[in-house]
Amino acid sequence: MIRRLRLLGWLFVATSAFCQSPELRPDPTTLFQQVSGHLLQDVKQLPRYTCLQGIERQFYHARYREKDACAGIISKFEARKHELPLTSWDRLHLDVTVADNREVHSWPGTSEFNEDEIRELVRNGPFGGGDFGPFITAVFGDAAVVKFQGERLVEGRPVFEYSYAIPTGVSQYQVETPSGPAVTAYGGSFFLDPQTADIVRLIVRTAVLPGSSGACLALSEVEYSRMNIHSRQLLIPHQTRLHLIYGDGKEAVCVTSYSSCHEYASEAVLHFDIANPSPGTASAQPSPLVKALLLAEGFPKGLTFACRMVTAIDSGAASAGDAVEGFLRSPIRDRSGVVLASPGSRLRGRLVRVAEYMEYPEYFEVGIRLESIEIDGVPVPLSATLVNPTPAPEHKLTGYHVGVLLDMNLPDTPSPLPSNVGAFFFMGTRFHLNHWDADWITVSPVVRVKSPSLER
């Protein structure tokens, strides 16, 4: 997994627009100095903000079994005129909070940060961060060697293009390897608008990556836009595109968009996006003593129950991070027969994986984690998995693609889901469910070592 820059922070205040006629347009050196000054000052005064982060990752197969060193693989990538075969994709929705020069992720609408869990779920693919603060500090500070390259047109408007290079000795671009993070040099180009004194686009290209990382090259492109939040003009990464070239010739692209940015609130409110709930009617609630024990210790493991999820999911829109709701179709009883939760009790959960695999046979994988069950109006934590999970379909080589035999290596296996997640598989190229039934069994909660995080 590539982690772009440890010091994270990418949302900052832009100064008032700089509007001049073409005759008064600044020279390249003056423009760079002006933009550098206000961007570096804005990074220092960065307020706390939260944005919704939409991520779609696409994985591409190598046409041939690559045996070249990274230099040869990169050369083929640069010379290629066609797209590689798309083998799979996945989609996520996350909340990303930037504060104290750090970026922390959580599932949308939750009151807790889930950085470690999210990174574990997406570790078999590109997942970056730090699109603003660290790059801005490095490129417009003293770390980079910057050169003016000329005037260009970007989306119909004239901009100034600059190149930059940051050597390993001052770089903070880190690559995850089995032996720990490794620092790499990087460089690229950026584009400044002389009429507004704003950065428009930033391109980041690493040096050849360490062989232990499993990748050869990471190439990022960040598009910027303005957003008015609380009467303040904020410059945010409208969209970023991270392209990763692996050491076996396979490739992956991670496209990230930012929306719904708002000022960070110190008190987060638990929120679920519920679609057409039909929880039924609960009855025979457990005694106050039983409820107190459940709240303190959770459900014992090994208890089976049936439930119906009633939040509609569609392959064209569903994402990991989406909240779902359902209800019990059978009671949850302890081993002595005492009812711990009655039929009709409301369940809440979350999608933690939505992916499509396009090798034969084509299918979707949807991972759902049950999080709580409502007992007498109080949500009680619940950890469970499927009683009889269905194994994932086996991929088979389909033969020839445009006259060329596909690489015999099958796509990378996705990272395994945690023990408290149920995996559902849907055959075909699209699916839509208004509800679905399944039998579950309670398991021990997944215990995670919490890393330092922001107070919420």
- pLDDT tens-digit series, residues 377-406: 889 999 999 998 888 887 664 443 332 323
| 96/312: higher pLDDT | 312
The per-residue pLDDT for 185 is 95
**What type of residue sits at position 56?**
E
Residue 389: its H or E element: none
Select 288-442's CATH number: 3.30.300, 2.40.128, 1.10.357, 3.40.50. 2.40.128
- Find the mean pLDDT for residues 258-262: 84
At 281-295, the pLDDT tens digits run 444 556 666 666 676
Over range 325-349, report the average pLDDT.
93
Predicted local distance difference test score (pLDDT) of residue 48:
75
pLDDT band at 62 (very low <50, low <70, confident <90, very high): confident
Residue 256 has pLDDT above 60, yes or no: yes
Q: Is the pLDDT of residue 100 over 90?
A: no
pLDDT digits (tens, 9 = 90+) for 407-431: 333 345 566 888 899 999 999 989 9
147-184 confidence digits (pLDDT tens)? 999 999 988 889 999 999 999 999 988 887 777 888 99
More confident residue, 213 or 66: 213
Q: In the predicted model, what is the mean pLDDT of residues 48-72? A: 84
pLDDT at 132: 62
Q: For 439-450, what is each residue's pLDDT tens digit?
A: 999 998 865 544
Average pLDDT estimate for 112-141: 80
pLDDT score of 20: 46
CA–CA dist 272, 416 (Å, integer): 26
Looking at residues 174-200, what average pLDDT do you find? 90
Lowest mean pLDDT among 88-102, 210-224, 301-315: 88-102
Question: Which distant-in-sequence residues (6+ apart) come within 8 Å of 404 by Cβ?
Answer: 63, 64
Q: Which long-range contacts (CB under 8 A, 24 or more apart) does 397-405 make?
A: 397/359, 397/360, 398/359, 398/360, 401/63, 401/85, 404/63, 404/64
Please report how many Cα atoms fall inside a 13 Å half-sphere around the Cα of residue 270, on the Cβ side.
7
pLDDT computed for residue 279 by the predictor: 44
Q: How far is CA 56 from CA 88, 124, 238, 241, 254, in A?
A: 11, 14, 14, 10, 6
The pLDDT of residue 98: 75
Threshold 0.85, pTM exceeds: no
Task: Give dist(CA 62, CA 159) in Å, integer.
Answer: 36
Report pLDDT for 34: 93
CATH number of 2-263: 2.50.20
Helices marked H in 112-256: 115-121, 133-140
Peptide bond into 361 cis (omega under 30): yes
What pLDDT, on a 0 to 100 scale, did the predictor assign at position 66? 62
Q: Is the pLDDT of residue 1 over 60?
A: no
- Distance (Å, rounded) from C-alpha 222 to C-alpha 254? 12
Percentage helix, strand, coil for the chain under 3-state DSSP, each rounded to 5: 15, 45, 45
Average pLDDT (75-81) is: 90
Given this model, what pLDDT does residue 317 score?
94
Q: What residue spans define the domains of the chain?
A: 2-263, 288-442
Counting Cα atoms < 13 Å in the Cβ hemisphere of 335 gives 4
pLDDT of residue 81: 86
Which pLDDT score is estimated for 3? 45
Mean pLDDT of the chain: 80
Report the pLDDT value the prediction gives residue 277, as an integer from 0 to 100: 37
